[in-house]
Structure 1
Amino acid sequence: MSDSGGVPEDECLAVWCAGDDWCAVTCAMDIIGKKWHPVIVHRLLQHGALRFNELSEEVGGITNKMLSQSLKDLEEKELVDREVVSEKPVAVEYSLTERGQSLEPVIDSLEEWGKTYLRPTEDQDQSVC
């Protein structure tokens, strides 16, 4: 187990972090570096708890299958909490755990870097990102 009590070291080995038995950057990117994960975390930081369809609308461009898989993965990584808020009809809300909320400065830094160094091309819809 790592010193921070986070991801066990044996669960986070990657060949692309050559020479290290355990690499914090590799582990962090393994958790939040998947295509939709940072966007989902960002929207939950912005809006708080959201139901599946609300989150789908906020993320945009993601299929229901991919959103479901991403949420399941984020839940397994203890970044997102899933709560059934009503049973008839079934309604589920997703929110960030304390661990997920701790990503706020990382997501804010990514957003600021993107605003500073990246510009959409004329044919891109700015609302997509």
Structure 2
Amino acid sequence: MSEPRSDTSCAASWCADDPWCGLTCAVDVLGHKWHPVVVHRLLARGPLGFGELADDVGAITNKVLSETLADLEAAAVVDRTVVDDRPVRVEYSLTDDGEALAPAIEALQDWGEQYLVD
């Protein structure tokens, strides 16, 4: 796994001098309802087509999944690749920066399971 990209800038650059700015940057990427779920599924299953990802997540609409993938691609967390098959299909995978989110996603999963209310 490579180092995070140095040319990726945090959308929360307004807080650059504050000790909590890294957290703000992370929340900017993962703070949306479906963003961490999509990253989690791609970490668990590797590259997936749109339909496979939609089936795996389940409760997400195609519109929201499309928007989520576009957001994660813009944040350099997800790569979108057109697969040269017939019919042509699109496959989504994590970038090195996306793979680097694994410890954070696992920690959020563990914390959530600990505090999950039945």
Question: Normalising by structure 1, what TM-score?
Answer: 0.78
8 Å Cα contact 1:13/1:22 also seen in 2: no
Q: Percent identity?
A: 51
C-alpha contact (below 8 Å) 1:13/1:21 kept by paired residues: no
2:12 aligned partner: 12
CA root-mean-square deviation: 2.2
Q: What amino acid is aligned across from residue 12 of structure 1 in structure 2?
A: A
Contact 1:43 1:58 in 2 (8 A): yes
Task: For residue 24 of structure 1, report the CA deviation from its aligned partner.
Answer: 1.2
Q: Where does structure 1 differ by over 6 angstroms across 4 or more consecutive aligned residues? A: none
CA distance in 2, matches of 1:37, 1:118: 19
Structure 1 residues without counterparts, runs of 5 or longer: 121-129
Q: Name which structure has the greater RCO, CA cutoff 8 Å, separation 6+.
A: 2
Secondary structure of the equivalent of 2:84? Answer: strand
Which residue number corresponds to residue 126 of structure 1? none
What residue number does 1:72 align with? 70
User: Do the aligned partners of 2:77 and 2:96 also contact (CA within 8 Å) in 1?
Assistant: yes
1:25 alignment partner, one of 23, 26, 45: 23
List gaps (5 residues or longer) in structure 2. none
The amino acid that maps onto 1:5 is S
Which deviates more, 46-55 or 85-94?
85-94
TM-score after normalising by structure 2: 0.84
| Deviation by residue 1:7-30 (Cα, 9 ceiling, x = unmatched) | 435x3146xx7x949811111101
Q: Supply the distance in 1 between the matched residues of 2:72 and 2:27 (Cα, whole angstroms).
A: 13
Match of 1:93 among 85, 91, 94: 91
